Chains A and B, each alone.
Chain A
Amino acid sequence: MASSITSDIVHGNPPPPTRNFGGGDGEPGGRGAHRRASMTGLLVLLAASVMLFAAFTSAFFVRRGMSNDWVDTPIPNILWVNTAVLLASSLAIELARRALRSGKRVWFNRYWTAATILGVAFLCGQYLAWRQLNAAGFYLATNPSSSFFFLLTCAHAVHLLGGMSALGYIEVEALMLRLGPGKRTAIDVSAYFWHFLDAIWIYLMALFFFWG
Chain B
Amino acid sequence: MSSPVMHSAHHAPTGFIRRYIFSLDHKVIGIQYYFLAVFSVFLGMALSVLMRFHMVYPDAKVSFFEKLWPTGAPGGIMTPELYLSLMTMHGTIMVFFVLTTAPQSGFGNYFLPIQIGAEDMAFPVLNMLSFWTTFLALIVMVAAFFVPGGPPLAGWTAYPPLSAVGPLSGPGEGLGQTFWIISIAIFCGASLMGAINFIATTIDLRARGLSMMRMPLTCWSWFVTAILGLLGFAVLLAAGVLLLLDRLAGTSFFLPAGLMVNDQILNHKGGSPLLWQHLFWFFGHPEVYIAILPGMGVASQLLATFSRKPIFGYRAMVYAILGIGFLGFFVWGHHMFMSGMNPYSAFAFSILTMSIGVPSAIKTFNWIGTLWGGRIQFTTAMLFALGFVSLFVTGGISGIFLGQPALDLYFHDTYFVVGHFHMIMGVAAIFGMFAGTFYWFPKVTGRFMNETLGKIHFYLTFIGVYCIFTPMHFLGISGNPRRYADFTNFDFMGKLMPIHTFMTHAAIGTMVVQFIFLFNLFWSIKKGKPAPINPWNATTLEWTIPSPPPFDNFAGKHPVVNHGPYEYSVPGAPKDYIMQSDPA
Q: Kindly state whether residue B533 has any CB partner on chain A within 8 Å.
A: no
User: A44-B196, A51-B234, A66-B272 known; A59 and B1 CB under 8 Å?
Assistant: no
User: A37-B122, A63-B271, A151-B245 known; A49 and B204 CB under 8 Å?
Assistant: no
How many angstroms between the C-alpha atoms of A29 and B196 in the bound complex?
18
| Residues from chain A with Cβ under 8 Å of B210 in the complex | 24
Among B3-11, B378-386, B513-521, which stretch is in contact with chain A?
B3-11
Q: Kindly state whether residue B173 has any CB partner on chain A within 8 Å.
A: no
A24, B235: Cβ atoms closer than 8 Å: no
User: A33-B5, A51-B235 known; A22 and B212 CB under 8 Å?
Assistant: yes
Chain B, 195-228, CB within 8 A of any chain A CB: 195-197, 199-201, 203-212, 214
A36, B204: Cβ atoms closer than 8 Å: yes
User: A1-B7, A47-B230, A48-B230 known; A21 and B250 CB under 8 Å?
Assistant: no
B208, A34: Cβ atoms closer than 8 Å: no
Contact with A along B531-545 (1 / 0, CB 8 A): 000000000000000
A59, B275: Cβ atoms closer than 8 Å: yes
Among B57-65, B91-99, B236-244, which stretch is in contact with chain A?
B236-244
| Residues from chain B with Cβ under 8 Å of A118 in the complex | none
| Residues from chain A with Cβ under 8 Å of B115 in the complex | none
Q: How many A-B residue pairs have CB under 8 A?
A: 155
| Residues from chain A with Cβ under 8 Å of B269 in the complex | 67, 69
Among A89-97, A108-116, A140-148, which stretch is in contact with chain B?
A140-148
How many angstroms between the C-alpha atoms of A23 and B239 in the bound complex?
38
A31, B4: Cβ atoms closer than 8 Å: yes
A147, B245: Cβ atoms closer than 8 Å: yes
Q: Kindly state whether residue B550 has any CB partner on chain A within 8 Å.
A: no
How many angstroms between the C-alpha atoms of A54 and B279 in the bound complex?
11
| Residues from chain B with Cβ under 8 Å of A70 in the complex | 270
- Chain A contact residues, majority secondary structure: helix
| Residues from chain A with Cβ under 8 Å of B201 in the complex | 37
Partner pick for A62 among B200, B212, B252, B272, CB 8 A cutoff: B272
Interface size class of B (residues with CB under 8 A): 35 or more
A59, B279: Cβ atoms closer than 8 Å: yes
B251, A55: Cβ atoms closer than 8 Å: no
B245, A189: Cβ atoms closer than 8 Å: no
| Residues from chain B with Cβ under 8 Å of A51 in the complex | 230-231, 234-235
How many angstroms between the C-alpha atoms of A58 and B282 in the bound complex?
12
Chain A, 44-92, CB within 8 A of any chain B CB: 44-45, 47-49, 51-52, 54-56, 58-59, 62-63, 66-70
A33, B270: Cβ atoms closer than 8 Å: no
B249, A21: Cβ atoms closer than 8 Å: no
Chain A, 133-167, CB within 8 A of any chain B CB: 140-141, 144, 147, 151, 155
Partner pick for A140 among B250, B270, B558, CB 8 A cutoff: B250
* Chain B min CB distance to A191 (Å): 13
B270, A144: Cβ atoms closer than 8 Å: yes
User: A140-B245, A144-B252 known; A45 and B196 CB under 8 Å?
Assistant: yes
| Residues from chain A with Cβ under 8 Å of B241 in the complex | 151, 155
How many angstroms between the C-alpha atoms of A33 and B249 in the bound complex?
46
Q: Kindly state whether residue B561 has any CB partner on chain A within 8 Å.
A: yes
A37, B270: Cβ atoms closer than 8 Å: no
Which residue on chain A has the smallest CB distance to residue B252? Answer: A144
User: A31-B6, A48-B230, A49-B234 known; A189 and B200 CB under 8 Å?
Assistant: no
A21, B203: Cβ atoms closer than 8 Å: yes
| Residues from chain A with Cβ under 8 Å of B199 in the complex | 40-41, 44
| Residues from chain A with Cβ under 8 Å of B1 in the complex | 38, 41, 186, 189
Which residue on chain B has the smallest CB distance to residue A20? Answer: B204
Q: Kindly state whether residue A182 has any CB partner on chain B within 8 Å.
A: yes
How many angstroms between the C-alpha atoms of A135 and B279 in the bound complex?
33
User: A33-B204, A37-B205 known; A69 and B270 CB under 8 Å?
Assistant: yes
Which residue on chain B has the smallest CB distance to residue A67? Answer: B270
Chain A interface (Cβ < 8 Å from any Cβ of B) = 1, 21-31, 33-34, 36-38, 40-41, 44-45, 47-49, 51-52, 54-56, 58-59, 62-63, 66-70, 140-141, 144, 147, 151, 155, 182, 186, 189
Residue contacts A-B, CB under 8 angstroms, 16 given: A24-B207, A33-B204, A34-B5, A34-B6, A36-B203, A37-B5, A40-B200, A40-B204, A41-B196, A47-B231, A48-B230, A62-B275, A67-B257, A67-B269, A141-B252, A144-B251
Chain B interface (Cβ < 8 Å from any Cβ of A) = 1, 4-7, 9, 117-119, 122-123, 126, 192, 195-197, 199-201, 203-212, 214, 230-231, 233-235, 237-239, 241-242, 245, 249-253, 257, 269-272, 275, 278-279, 282, 558, 561
